[in-house]
Structure 1
Amino acid sequence: MYTLKQANTYIEKNRKRVIADYRNDYHAMAPIGWINDPNGFIYYKGEYHLFYQYYPYKAVWGPMHWGHSKSKDLVKWETVPVALAPDHSYDKDGCFSGTAIEKDGKLYLMYTGHIEGETEEDIRQVQCIAVSSDGIHFEKVEQNPVITEADLPENAKPQDFRDPKVVKNGDFYYSLIASKKEDGGGQILLYKSKDFLDWEFVSVMLNGEKEEGPMWECPDIFELDGKDVLLLSVDGLPKKENNFLNTHSVLAIVGEMDWEKGIFHKETVEELDYGLDFYAPQTIEDDKNRRIMISWMQMWGRNIPTETEQHGWAGSMTLPRELFIKNNHVYQRPVAEIKNYYTNKQSYKTIKLYDETKAFEELSAEVSAIELVLDVKAGKRFDIEVRSNQIEKTLVSYDCETSFLELNRINSGIELVGNEEEHVYKRSVYCEPENNKIELEIFLDRASMEVFANQGKYTLTSTIYPTQKADNIKITAEGQVEVDRLDTWDIEV
């Protein structure tokens, strides 16, 4: 078994050995080792706390710990000691994903304990609790595990029963837990408790069909702008036209939650991000009543250069995003705090391009924010090159005739290849102009790119690994495209 002391000692001794070439400047990361899902994201005692699936000893997935960072503004993150290690019989092979809630001034974590067996049939996943009075040091409760296979309904596999999301509604605490059905497909199970220790099964909150993916993960539920929103991360969702091209996808389901009956009634289902690296998002409501989301900025099954090149670390989180709903659609906006770190503003206005390319050689954009407003009513297509040099570039393109916005990283640098049947190096989304305009916000960091289109109606998130200095911007127009405004800022944290 692993221990907290072992993990924290290893991190302190080895964290300076990592190679920092691709380490992001303003995104949450671990100091060393592997990270994946964000966990236990919460605003607690005046600070944002972010836990995450963590294996400190190598830059590959291993027996999961809970790493821990905290921040006062969602941009500058401070690493604090590892919160959970797989050190009990009920979680000996991993402290898997879960969430946090404040109760009586204390911080409670609910997570999945993973127990390997001699065969796959022998694997068990159970739900466990740890508590802290200072938000840093946690103790696992004596009652663990608090939910086991004895609490499962019929047709639920004890081998795939994980990722509790805890919420308070009325007098009860509720836990949404992802489950795999014996006869195939995903489902969300609902449990409730008055004291957070003694839990009872309520219902199958949402039942998935086989074509909706073999396993659901990391559920999240919240009320926003008068609607209930359920986020699901799905392993193996079949691709459908332009959607779900990655091995794993995230769904935003807007509808209505009936807490009395424990049933979620879905109205609309959409993919949440149309990029290449976005999975397992988690949300909170903070002290400003904002619904903030953060996600793992990576994709299962792909090579990660910082691991293969032996940099000693792998994985980063997205820029936190504020969520809104308009017309049953979830919008995402970068948190306002990022603007506090903008410097060196450079601006252009009213640039008319007609079947030509303009290079903005005096603009540099590596760790930066770019805002563009483009008038496309007389255009056929535009391509925006960012992080470019003579041999590398990342493209954001728009086809004015089909209204598809595309992110393409085939020439971004180190090749990234996954387990998909066909190499996925670009993604696109149907994005209609608003008043003949396409508005883009592009956030660049050392190894990442996040595109927000039309005030965050759609987002495209991707990792990129340029091999040489790559900070140029070029715009190419087919037909007539007018750049109403182009602003860039460096981001310095």
Structure 2
Amino acid sequence: MDRQQTEISHSIERANRYIEENRAAVAPLYRNHYHAVPPIGWMNDPNGFIQYQGAYHLFYQFHPYDAKWGPMHWGHMKSTDLTHWEDLPVALAPDQAYDRFGCFSGSAIEKDGKLYLLYTGVTEADEAGIHYQVQCLAVSEDGVHFEKVQHNPVIPAAALPEGASPIDFRDPKLFEHDGMFYAVIASKTEEGTGQVLLYESADLLDWRFSSVFLKGTKEQGIMWECPDFFTLDGKDCLIFSPMQWPEEGNDYQNLNASLLAIGKVDWATNQFHPESFQELDHGLDYYAPQSLEDDLGRRICIAWMQNWGRNFPTDELGHGWTGSMTIPRQLKLEDGKLKQYPIAASLTEGESPETIGAFYLEDGVAVLPGIEGERGLLQLKIDVSAVERMEIRLRENEQESTLVFYDRMMNELGIDRSKSGIMINGEEATPLSCRKVALPTMVQWLLLDIFLDSSSIEVFEGNGDAVLSTNVYPTEPASGISFRCSGKAVIEQAAFMPIA
């Protein structure tokens, strides 16, 4: 990577030209149709997720020249409905000494009608060969073309508190509070634990260290990434993505997880006091979520639908691209409990599919008429009061399928991709192809919204209590959907709405 960075002079113009000249060569086989995907190359963390001038803008970590992680740029797209995305020109390229080794993750905020991006720059190596991580600012008057400010870096490594690593200092997330701008920034301590630092500014240019917002213990992972602070239904919330947070039963089984901490900020000390931690998604592919509040007052979250340490089939197959975002979801707190609901209404507008109702299944297998497809929304209402185990097999062909299941005795909802197609391997000590989550209360009706796309399955429990997001790569056409149960089930409603 060092040699590549030294020999190549990166620029926005070069990146945009490369995209236009090469995007037609990208293989379409596994490209998702109604999720945010890169036009070419590599995509990871969502960045700068914001509503600006009537549109939702999504920036993202982007390497246009390869389907592998590389010198980070900021890709850019926008949408008016959060489901149909329009590619925009590259927003940032690593073209300055303070970000030569990458424009890492960050966020966006509007001030005086202008759009500001605060991002992590990875510097050129110093005499000791060290690349520092610093925070940098860029500004735009039209939301498309950005200029980096002369003050950069606006938060240098020298602004770190004692004991914080200057090489693990990244992912600033901006917010406003009582007339001031704040940024929560991920950091690593000299003891090798994660923490979130808080910085404050009156004008986005001059920043000062405010506090260690939240400090982790040795039992809470080796580094935290992508913090995001907001208030939701009267509670203070902090999202972050820790590396190696310890597994607890069904939770945190991915080596790199994404958590929501609910608590309270003491604004006298500017410290966050967590009351609870919980995993945001119990699937196999979910990382680095970032949120916004839109003009309807909704807290909307989107994440990278991949995970570090895994193999990436579209790169291995030479398809010329890697990465996808999840469906945006709305976050709510109801009676202090997190609820998550998909935002995908416009995907099925005008659709009136035939609904299958009152189908009885006892210790058997069933295929329902009209319930099949590779891309679409599967909606189910199943009476599971007399079920031992209920299975829905998705993306099914003669040899492959992905299993969504409900275990009545354990009251667990799960997903299993062990027979989905191309194997996905990770860095977990035990190979991980199945995950599950215990529902908070025993249910009579299992309500599911299942979103299928070319290489992804997202399962939303209908009461908002659980989400499981997972990538799948069938090796043959796979449009089958079937139902299996032990015990007695009544499929009260089943509908499949294709999504082009």
Return the match for 1:309 from 298, 313, 317: 317
Q: Give the conservation status (yes or no) of the 8 Å contact 2:97–2:124.
A: no
Q: Give the conservation status (yes or no) of the 8 Å contact 2:133–2:168.
A: yes
Return the match for 2:406 from 398, 404, 411: 398
| Equivalent residue number for residue 107 of structure 2 | 99
Question: Does residue 375 of the first structure (1) align with residue 390 of the second (2)?
Answer: no
SS at match of 1:212: coil
Given residue 472 of structure 2, which amino acid in structure 1 is its aligned partner?
Answer: I
TM-score (norm 2): 0.96
Return the match for 1:448 from 434, 456, 466: 456
Q: Which moved more, 1:431-440 or 1:175-184?
A: 431-440
| Equivalent residue number for residue 147 of structure 1 | 155
| Equivalent residue number for residue 294 of structure 2 | 286
* Aligned pairs for 1:300-449 within 5 A: 300-341=308-349, 343=351, 345-360=353-368, 362-432=370-440, 435-449=443-457
Shift of 1:339: 4.3
* Aligned pairs for 1:186-201 within 5 A: 186-201=194-209
Shift of 1:268: 1.1
SS at match of 1:345: coil
Deviation string, structure 1 residues 404-455 (Cα, Å, up to 9, x no partner)? 1110001111111111112100100001555512211100000000001132
Shift of 1:215: 0.2
Deviation string, structure 1 residues 244-292 (Cα, Å, up to 9, x no partner)? 1112000111111233321111111011100000000000011111111
| Equivalent residue number for residue 3 of structure 2 | none
Deviation string, structure 1 residues 292-318 (Cα, Å, up to 9, x no partner)? 111000011111111000000000000
| Equivalent residue number for residue 85 of structure 2 | 77
Given residue 201 of structure 1, which amino acid in structure 2 is its aligned partner?
Answer: F
Given residue 275 of structure 2, which amino acid in structure 1 is its aligned partner?
Answer: E
CA distance in 1, matches of 2:370, 2:259: 40
The CA RMSD over aligned residues, in Å, is: 1.5
CA distance in 2, matches of 1:384, 1:31: 33
| Equivalent residue number for residue 165 of structure 1 | 173
Structure 1 residues 490 and 355: alpha-carbon distance in aligned structure 2, compared to 1, 3 A threshold: same
| Equivalent residue number for residue 245 of structure 2 | 237
CA distance in 2, matches of 1:343, 1:308: 37
Shift of 1:340: 4.2
Question: Where does the alignment leave 5 or more consecutive residues of structure 1 unmatched?
Answer: none
CA distance in 1, matches of 2:206, 2:440: 50
| Equivalent residue number for residue 70 of structure 2 | 62
Return the match for 1:156 from 150, 155, 164: 164
| Equivalent residue number for residue 6 of structure 1 | 14
Q: Which moved more, 1:286-295 or 1:128-137?
A: 286-295
Shift of 1:365: 2.1
Q: Which moved more, 1:116-125 or 1:151-160?
A: 116-125
Structure 1 residues 71 and 441: alpha-carbon distance in aligned structure 2, compared to 1, 3 A threshold: same
Q: Give the conservation status (yes or no) of the 8 Å contact 1:449–1:461.
A: yes
SS at match of 2:19: helix
Shift of 1:183: 1.1
Shift of 1:17: 0.5
| Equivalent residue number for residue 5 of structure 2 | none
| Equivalent residue number for residue 479 of structure 1 | 487
Question: Does residue 49 of the first structure (1) align with residue 70 of the second (2)?
Answer: no
Q: Give the conservation status (yes or no) of the 8 Å contact 1:341–1:491.
A: no
CA distance in 1, matches of 2:335, 2:462: 15
CA distance in 2, matches of 1:491, 1:338: 10
CA distance in 1, matches of 2:138, 2:242: 27
SS at match of 2:363: strand
Shift of 1:341: 4.4
SS at match of 1:13: helix
CA distance in 2, matches of 1:119, 1:310: 38
Question: Does residue 24 of the first structure (1) align with residue 38 of the second (2)?
Answer: no
CA distance in 2, matches of 1:294, 1:382: 29
SS at match of 1:210: coil
Q: Give the conservation status (yes or no) of the 8 Å contact 2:83–2:344.
A: no
Given residue 494 of structure 2, which amino acid in structure 1 is its aligned partner?
Answer: L
CA distance in 2, matches of 1:122, 1:173: 30
Shift of 1:338: 3.5
CA distance in 1, matches of 2:337, 2:346: 24
CA distance in 1, matches of 2:75, 2:28: 19
SS at match of 1:333: strand
Structure 1 residues 260 and 339: alpha-carbon distance in aligned structure 2, compared to 1, 3 A threshold: farther
CA distance in 2, matches of 1:290, 1:63: 34
CA distance in 2, matches of 1:88, 1:490: 46
Q: Which moved more, 1:322-331 or 1:90-99?
A: 322-331
CA distance in 1, matches of 2:462, 2:407: 15
Shift of 1:327: 3.1
SS at match of 2:20: helix
| Equivalent residue number for residue 272 of structure 2 | 264
Q: Give the conservation status (yes or no) of the 8 Å contact 2:411–2:442.
A: no
| Equivalent residue number for residue 124 of structure 1 | 132
CA distance in 2, matches of 1:72, 1:120: 48
- Identity across matched positions, percent: 49
TM-score (norm 1): 0.97
CA distance in 1, matches of 2:49, 2:30: 25
Structure 1 residues 262 and 81: alpha-carbon distance in aligned structure 2, compared to 1, 3 A threshold: same
